[in-house]
């Protein structure tokens, strides 16, 4: 669809105004800004309406943009948004805040973004494929030992194991040798029944050690379902479109994920920002909301996803800018941290 320049200007003006006010915008209020008489603008508006880009809540109200209009806006009309000095300062302050480990970084990024955009935000670590690079079994007492595994991404996982029967002398040592020989640097698909059986034989297992170690290996290799944190969901109350308790409820329930974890959009590999508007969203509950989400590579091979959810009329330009600034800052800080002080990045104690 080719849209003449003047129509574009008008559409952009309507969207910019509606994003701020959430109220239908009429022709008269635009005439000053666009240097056109209301009548002219009305004419263009009614054409935009027949193209499905504007709609009227009722006769004799102004026009509001449709979801399609936002799509056009995001793809073609959006002006690059400049961060104000204050906003940059706020972002820098947030970035300088201590970031200690991945878990809390996820939640932290979500909180910062939510606060910055005044919208509900979600953050998650994208799944990562790790292998185990090192095993260690530490004897604790006759029946107990600590299993420690170091992941290829430098995370450490450990677990206390107690068996019903005493562990024969030397078994732990042998098991640890076999684990390091057979189970390091492989992905989880390669941990097969066959491998497990041969391991059991190699160890000479008489106390049921193999089954437990196998579980440990598999748990360690298969990342726990990507944890998702949602921050600031109460901020939707700032937007009149969620004044209706039912609408607010539906979105909040969805984000809280009490029944089923919410499936939120994520940028395709490569794309750095993904915007889905209204009906473009897969989830029924997001069909009248907009989502902006970005992906940010962390040093250790993990990707961080951060996004916001809000009314379709949200300030896409501003949000995109803020998200980009934040993720680029995070990436920088993260790489610095990796270089200068590695202590803490492998932490898994919380």
Tell me 120's DSSP state: -
Task: Find, among 160, 157, 154, the residue nearest to 138 by Cα.
Answer: 160
Find the binder of a copy of itself among 117, 199, 210, 231 (CB under 8 A): 231
Find the binder of DNA among 1, 2, 58, 349 (CB under 7 A): 58
The site map against DNA for 38-57 (x = CB under 7 A) is xxx-xx-xx--x------x-
Nearest-approach distance from CB 193 to a copy of itself, in angstroms: 20
Q: Which is nearer to DNA, 38 or 144 (CB)?
A: 38
Contact flag: residue 224 with a copy of itself (CB under 8 A):
yes
Q: Which is nearer to DNA, 40 or 152 (CB)?
A: 40
Nearest-approach distance from CB 311 to DNA, in angstroms: 17
Strands 228-231 vs 121-126: parallel, antiparallel or unpaired: antiparallel
CB 293 within 8 A of CB 264: yes
Tell me 280's DSSP state: G
Contact flag: residue 22 with a copy of itself (CB under 8 A):
no
Rounded-to-integer distance, Cα 327 and Cα 121, Å: 14
Contact flag: residue 249 with a copy of itself (CB under 8 A):
yes
Count, residues near DNA per rule CB under 7 A: 23
Q: How many CB atoms lie within 10 A of CB 340?
A: 8
Q: Which is nearer to a copy of itself, 242 or 316 (CB)?
A: 242
Find the binder of a copy of itself among 83, 177, 212, 331 (CB under 8 A): 212
Contact flag: residue 307 with a copy of itself (CB under 8 A):
no
Q: What region, left, alpha or beta, does residue 263 occupy, with left being phi > 0 and alpha being psi -120 to 50 degrees?
A: beta
Strands 156-162 vs 132-139: parallel, antiparallel or unpaired: unpaired
CB 187 within 8 A of CB 129: yes
CB 263 within 8 A of CB 225: no
Backbone φ and ψ of 251, nearest 5°: -65, -45
Widest CA span in the chain: 93
Rounded-to-integer distance, Cα 332 and Cα 324, Å: 12
Selection from DNA, a copy of itself, none that 49 binds (CB < 5 to 8 A by kind) is: DNA
CB burial of residue 300 (10 Å; 0-12, 13-18, 19+)? middle
Return the range that interacts with DNA (CB under 7 A); candidates 22-30, 116-124, 160-168, 285-293.
Answer: 22-30
Q: How many CB atoms lie within 10 A of CB 304?
A: 22
Rounded-to-integer distance, Cα 66 and Cα 71, Å: 9
Find the binder of a copy of itself among 23, 49, 154, 188 (CB under 8 A): 154
The site map against a copy of itself for 254-293 (x = CB under 8 A) is --x-x-----------------------------------
Rounded-to-integer distance, Cα 198 and Cα 192, Å: 10
Contact flag: residue 111 with a copy of itself (CB under 8 A):
yes
Q: Which is nearer to DNA, 30 or 105 (CB)?
A: 30
Find the binder of a copy of itself among 248, 283, 297, 333 (CB under 8 A): 248
Residues contributing to the site for a copy of itself (CB under 8 A): 111, 114-115, 134, 136, 138, 140, 144, 146, 148, 150, 154-162, 212, 215, 219-220, 224, 231-234, 237, 243, 245-246, 248-249, 252-253, 256, 258, 342-350
Residues contributing to the site for DNA (CB under 7 A): 24-29, 36-40, 42-43, 45-46, 49, 56, 58-63
């Amino acid at each position: 669809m080719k849209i003449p320049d003047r129509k574009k200007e008008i559409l952009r003006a309507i969207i910019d105004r509606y994003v701020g006010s959430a109220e239908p915008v009429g022709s008269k209020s635009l005439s000053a800004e666009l240097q056109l008489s209301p009548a002219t603008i009305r004419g263009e508006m009614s054409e935009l309406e027949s193209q499905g880009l504007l709609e009227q809540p009722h006769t004799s109200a102004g026009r509001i943009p449709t979801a399609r209009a936002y799509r056009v806006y995001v793809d073609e009309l959006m002006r690059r948004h400049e961060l104000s000095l204050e906003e940059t300062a706020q972002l820098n302050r947030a970035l300088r805040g201590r970031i200690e480990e991945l878990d809390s970084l996820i939640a932290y990024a979500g909180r910062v973004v939510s606060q910055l955009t005044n919208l509900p935000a979600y953050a998650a670590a994208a799944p990562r494929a790790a292998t185990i690079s090192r095993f260690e079994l530490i004897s604790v007492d006759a029946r107990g030992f600590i299993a420690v595994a170091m992941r290829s991404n430098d995370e450490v996982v450990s677990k206390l194991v107690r068996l019903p029967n005493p562990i024969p002398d030397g078994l732990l040592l042998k098991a640890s040798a076999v684990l390091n020989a057979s189970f390091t640097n492989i992905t989880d698909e390669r941990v097969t029944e066959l491998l497990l059986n041969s391991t059991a034989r190699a160890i000479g297992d008489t106390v049921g050690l193999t089954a437990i170690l196998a579980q440990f290996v598999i748990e360690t290799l298969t990342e726990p379902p990507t944890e998702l944190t949602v921050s600031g969901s109460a901020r939707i109350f700032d937007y009149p479109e969620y004044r209706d308790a039912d609408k607010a409820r539906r979105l909040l329930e969805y984000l809280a994920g009490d029944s089923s974890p919410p499936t939120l959009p994520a940028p395709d590999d490569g794309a750095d920002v993904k915007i889905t508007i209204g009906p473009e969203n897969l989830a029924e509950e997001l069909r009248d909301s907009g989502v902006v989400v970005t992906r940010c590579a962390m040093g250790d091979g993990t990707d961080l996803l951060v996004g916001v959810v809000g009314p379709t009329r949200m300030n896409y330009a501003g949000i995109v800018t803020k998200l980009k600034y934040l993720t680029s800052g995070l990436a920088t800080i993260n790489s610095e941290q990796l270089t200068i002080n590695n202590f803490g990045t492998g932490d898994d104690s919380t």
